[in-house]
Chains A and B, each alone.
Chain A
Amino acid sequence: NAGVTQTPKFQVLKTGQSMTLQCAQDMNHNSMYWYRQDPGMGLRLIYYSASEGTTDKGEVPNGYNVSRLNKREFSLRLESAAPSQTSVYFCASSTGLEVRGYTFGSGTRLTVV
């Protein structure tokens, strides 16, 4: 039972480089989310997808794009990485129908130099 799988676990980028963070869930969940965690800032929502085929901006969407590739996969793309995007990124999924909240992946630690 893998749950939510994020790849890669660690990444170092140079300013201006691009990359895609991958997320896949095997729980047949409808909704998927991307959060970033920064020291003293908690978890902030970047983008979410309430269902396959839909995406919406969260609290901090600038500098990011997302793709809900299918029901299982939700990717986060940084087109031109900036040092301010150094963070730990968490993907999560939920059925969208109940109050037990999300199942989170183990995170991707990204450093932009």
Chain B
Amino acid sequence: DQQVKQNSPSLSVQEGRISILNCDYTNSMFDYFLWYKKYPAEGPTFLISISSIKDKNEDGRFTVFLNKSAKHLSLHIVPSQPGDSAVYFCAASARAGTALIFGKGTTLSVSS
């Protein structure tokens, strides 16, 4: 049973528009949520995180929103750029530093 779900395998967006990537989780013990970005033939790289005590975290063009009651988080990228085209993984853990559980990923394609 998947604990972290990314139900959209792919998303296509035009350059300059907003990209919204969604993630749902089932384990109410999860306290930390992270987004990773992965380019082909490279390892995933950390993008942004949020802890359960917050409902929003911003870092430049990237904002993560957390709705604990709905067990849902989303990553907003504004404005989207062609270089953002990659696979985005949502991940969660029950406490800082413990093993992360990843979703299946969403492939984002940003066209110019």
The answer on a CB contact under 8 Å between A4 and B46 is no
Binds B, one of A63-71, A79-87, A91-99: A91-99
B43 to A45, Cβ gap below 8 A? no
Contact check, B96 vs A97: say whether CB atoms are below 8 A apart. Answer: yes
- B100 contacts chain A at the CB level, 8 A cutoff: yes
Q: Which residues of B contact A (CB under 8 A)?
A: 6, 9, 32, 34, 36, 41-46, 49, 51, 89, 91, 96-105
A residues sitting closer than 8 Å to B (CB atoms) are: 4, 31, 33, 35, 40-45, 48, 50, 56, 58-59, 90, 92, 94-107
Q: How far is the CA of A90 from the CA of B91 in the complex (A)?
A: 15
> Given A33-B100, A98-B96, list of 17 further CB < 8 A pairs?
A4-B43, A35-B102, A42-B89, A42-B105, A44-B102, A50-B98, A90-B44, A97-B97, A99-B32, A99-B34, A99-B96, A101-B36, A101-B46, A104-B43, A104-B44, A107-B42, A107-B43
Contacts of A43 in B (CB 8 A): 44, 89, 91, 102, 105
Closest Cβ of chain A to B88, distance in Å, is 11
Question: Complex formed: what's the CA distance from A43 to B43 in Å?
Answer: 11
Contact in complex: A100, B49 (CB < 8 Å): yes
Chain A residues with Cβ below 8 Å from B49 are 99-101
